[in-house]
Amino acid sequence: MLEQGRLGIRQLCILTILIIAGDMMMIYPSVIATFSGQNAWLYAFIGVPLGMGLMYLFVKLADTYPNENLIGVFRKILGFWPGTVLALFYLMYFIFSSAAQSRVVGDFMTSQIFLYTPIRVVLLIFVIPIGWALYNGLENIGRSSEILVPIITTFMFILVVFLLPEVQLNQLVPFTDTTFSQFTHGIVIGFIYPVGEALPILMILPYANQQAHRTRDLMISAGFGNLLMAILVTISMLVMGLFLTQHTIFGSFVLSQKINIANFFQRIEVLMASSWLISTYFKSTVYLYAFVLGIAELFRLKSYHFLILPCVLIVYALSNLVTPNIVFFNTTVIPYWLEWDLTVSLILPVLLLIIHQIKSKLSFNKGRT
């Protein structure tokens, strides 16, 4: 087996929560509000059980061949060459996602905090720790995520509780004049966008301890992560209203600027941003890990450690090249990115499961006659 390290089930669940929170913590409210209008918070809450169902689907797909990772599962179900083509498609998804998340961090830093720093420097500083984490292996990623996850939950809690004085309940009134396009977009974004991007968890699932309640724990953590995002959307709609939620790209940063308790407890937005940076860092790391491991699995290499350095350089270069500016990413790419997420994390896994069922039925019949 390529990876010798073993993850505990708690580390796996924490990594799932971190991937779901990831860069969604900043951009999710604006995306879902842009596509689905006033009822965005309702769709976000509807997405919680749907997201748990999606995570059940992922675990089901991984359980067809428990000792193989995603690439191996493709090859086992589809055969060698079709599996390889599909694996290449998924590897492209992993590397572009990793680069895009680093790029969102760079855009955020250069547009909100370090206004005069070139984005290449910010990206270099962000990418080097990713390479360091990969170099130290999967177990260390899991353990450091265990240390850092309380920071994120604490800051989410602080954000929600200290914004309660600013809440205006009349901004939550649902409209009934929702169009069909808004409805479908809302439902789909509500569970595909946070939980669907937890797909690379399938690449590390074979290297976690096999326990009886693994499926239940993963579903609960997916629901928890998605619930955090739904609460964030709701508090954003409550405080800023629909228009501002749609038009601020980094919503929770602006939200935490609004915290002001008695002119004393204020200006904590950079702490909020740091918690977001931590979760995005883990998301980007796991995506790049999935890419490196996938390359090693695709070419049947003996180890994956020597591939890390060039892959880190590729992520650095791609995160510079992936969009020429922030506007291109947010206006042009996001609709296509949603469809890509939908294909990769819902349609193709369902098709694979159906093919697997048919194949096992056929071989069962053949064995009987």
Partner 1 sequence: MLLTIAVVIVGCLMGVIDLPNLWKKKEWKEITVYSCLLLTSIFFGVVAVNLWEFPSPLYIIIWIYKPVNQLLAYITGS
Task: Return residues touching partner 1 (CB under 8 A).
Answer: 92, 96, 120, 179-181, 184, 295, 299-302, 306-307, 309-311, 313-314, 316-318, 320-324, 328, 332-333, 335-337, 339-340
Nearer to partner 1, 82 or 310 (CB): 310
CB of 235 to partner 1, least distance (A): 29
Q: For residue 265, what are the β-bridge partners?
A: 261
Nearer to partner 1, 160 or 314 (CB): 314
Nearer to partner 1, 325 or 365 (CB): 325
Q: How far apart are CA 51 and CA 222, in angstroms?
A: 7
Nearer to partner 1, 178 or 260 (CB): 178
CB of 180 to partner 1, least distance (A): 6
Taking CA atoms, 357 is separated from 52, 84, 214, 310, 368, in Å, by: 22, 20, 22, 39, 17
Taking CA atoms, 73 is separated from 56, 65, 66, 67, in Å, by: 16, 6, 9, 9
Q: Where are the beta strands (DSSP E) in 7-147?
A: none
Nearer to partner 1, 133 or 208 (CB): 133
Tokens 């042009």 appear where? 332
CB of 302 to partner 1, least distance (A): 7
CB of 327 to partner 1, least distance (A): 12
Q: How far apart are CA 295 and CA 171, in angstroms?
A: 49
CA 270 from centroid of its chain's CA atoms: 22
Nearer to partner 1, 52 or 290 (CB): 290
CB of 186 to partner 1, least distance (A): 13
CB of 95 to partner 1, least distance (A): 9
Residues 6+ positions from 273 with CB-CB distance below 8 Å: 108, 112, 113, 253, 256
For residues 65, 96, 41, 106, the Cα torsion angle rounded to the nearest 10 degrees is 140
Nearer to partner 1, 129 or 335 (CB): 335
Nearer to partner 1, 79 or 310 (CB): 310
3-state secondary structure of 67: coil
Q: How far apart are CA 142 and CA 289, in angstroms?
A: 12
Q: Where are the beta strands (DSSP E) in 148-298?
A: 260-261, 265-266
CB of 123 to partner 1, least distance (A): 9
Are 162 and 22 in contact by the 8 Å Cβ rule? The answer is no
Q: For residue 266, what are the β-bridge partners?
A: 260
Degrees (nearest 5) of the Cα angle 152, 54, 178? 90
CB of 126 to partner 1, least distance (A): 14
DSSP string, 186-219: HHHHHHHHHHGGGTTHHHHGGGBPP-TTHHHHHH
Nearer to partner 1, 74 or 96 (CB): 96
Nearer to partner 1, 256 or 323 (CB): 323
Residue (of 323, 140, 289, 82) closest to 205 by Cα position: 289
CB of 128 to partner 1, least distance (A): 11
CB of 329 to partner 1, least distance (A): 8
